[in-house]
Structures are given as C-alpha cells and as structure tokens.
Amino acid sequence: MFMNQLFFVCVINTFILSKIWSLPYMVGHEVEMDETYVTHTHCRKGRVVEGHPGKKRGTPATKRGLSDEKICILTAVQRLGKCIARSLNVAKPSSMDAETFCECITDESYVWTDGLTSYVKPLKEKNCSNKVLESYQEYDAVNHLNNVNSFHSQIQEQYRAYRGVSSKYINRYNALFMLQREYMGMDSQEILLLIIKRLRKRVCYFFIRQIRKEDLFKLAIA
C-alpha cells in the first residue's frame, strides 16, 4: 500500500518538475508567501542510522522551536490561482533558499510576505512589490496571508493523517499537496478530465528505481 502511494506522488512530482503541464508551474500577479514546518523523520526498516535512533512515525520533535528537527516547507499561493510548496532546508530558510524558491514567482508581481527578510532581495530583483505583514494586527480586507495560511492548515492536516512521512520524500508529498489544493472542491470525474487534458500529447518516461533514488530531500537522514 505504501509503495502504491509513493509511486503516485512520485509521478505527480515528475510531472511538475519536468513541467509537462500545459503551462510552466509558476505563480504571479497577487501572491502570498509564507513558511510552515513539519517534523524531520526517517524510515528505519531494520537499519541503524548512527546518531539518529529510530522512532515511530508521528513522534513529535524533542527540541522546542525551530531546529534541525523541523523541515521548512516554503509556500506561495496565487490568489484565485495555483500554489507552490517546496522544501529546501531545515529550520529557518536561508537567503539562498529564498532566492531559489522565488524563481517560481513571475516578474512584477505583488507579493505579501511575513517578516522573513530573506525574501526582500530576490523579490526586488524580479521587480515585485512586497508588502510585509509581521502580525495579524496588520491584516485587513486586502492585506493578509489568509490563503497561504489555509494552505498550511491543509498540509498539516494531511501530514497528521499520514502520521508523518519519510523526510527524503517530502518534496513528492509537497507536489501532492499542491495538486490537492488546486483541485479542491472538484469531483473525481472533473479532476480526471482536467488531468487528461493537461497530459494530452505529452510523454514522460522514468524507471521504477528512480522513485527511491532521484529528487530526494538533500538534508534527509540517509
């Protein structure tokens, strides 16, 4: 059952990374950006990983606050549009992480962010307007992060349902979270028709062994 689930999210991730959708996977115009965090876990499966004792899925982090036990999921949600979720590092994202993630933002967009200063430089280089919202007290009818916070709630709810996932596969599950939000509220037949339309006349080949070896989270416990 786990292999079938893993195979499914691997296919989704392959589609998104190779950009075989009808349009490149970018967000723009009006975008909300923020981060959420999940606990760093690994599948032991009888192996002893030095310095990292095995623990059951769903076990909370032992350290309080942000630490190397927390994986950062960078997220961007286009208002009335698509979303992006990607994990590049643990704990607080660096300036390089923010610069890499901002490549998915189209030029001259209007972007709302939290107080993370790492976003300022890459957004400025893309000629994006940036409104910083450091607390809920600054929210109003236009200036808010409600859409991206809703996306975070979806991710956390799904993550709890899985009781955590092996960290090396986190970006494949991020890809799944993205499509779940995009197709939210649609019935299964409508979702199937949209996916078939996007994949029409497009071919993508990969081997089953790629599931366990390629596009893994770089900081995952081996």
Q: Is the model more confident about 77 or about 10?
A: 77
Average pLDDT value over all residues in the chain: 77
Chain centre to alpha carbon of residue 212: 19
* Range with the poorest average pLDDT among 44-48, 93-97, 182-186, 210-214: 44-48
CA distance 131 to 115: 10
Rg, C-alpha atoms of the chain? 18
Reading the block at residue 34, the tokens are 């923020």
pLDDT class of 65 with cuts at 50, 70, 90: low
What is the pLDDT confidence band of residue 1, given thresholds at 50, 70 and 90? very low
Window from 54-63, 90-99, 152-161, 166-175 with minimum mean pLDDT? 54-63
Residue 54 is predicted with a pLDDT of: 52
- Helix intervals (H) in the chain: 2-17, 95-101, 120-125, 146-162, 170-182, 188-199, 210-213
Give 147's pLDDT tier (boundaries 50, 70, 90).
very high
* Rounded average pLDDT over 135-151: 91
Could you give phi then psi for residue 143, rounded to 5 degrees? -90, 100
Tens digits of residue pLDDT in 74-122 = 999 999 888 888 888 887 888 898 898 888 899 999 999 988 888 999 9
Tens-place pLDDT, residues 188-199: 888 778 777 776
Main-chain phi, psi angles of 49, to 5 degrees = -100, 115
Say if strands 83-90 and 70-78 run parallel, antiparallel, or are unpaired: antiparallel
Quick one: DSSP state of residue 149?
H
Question: Rounded to two decimals, what is the model's pTM?
Answer: 0.77
Residue type, 54: G
Within 10 angstroms of residue 86's Cβ, the number of other Cβ atoms is: 19
CATH of domain 2-44+61-213: 3.30.420.10
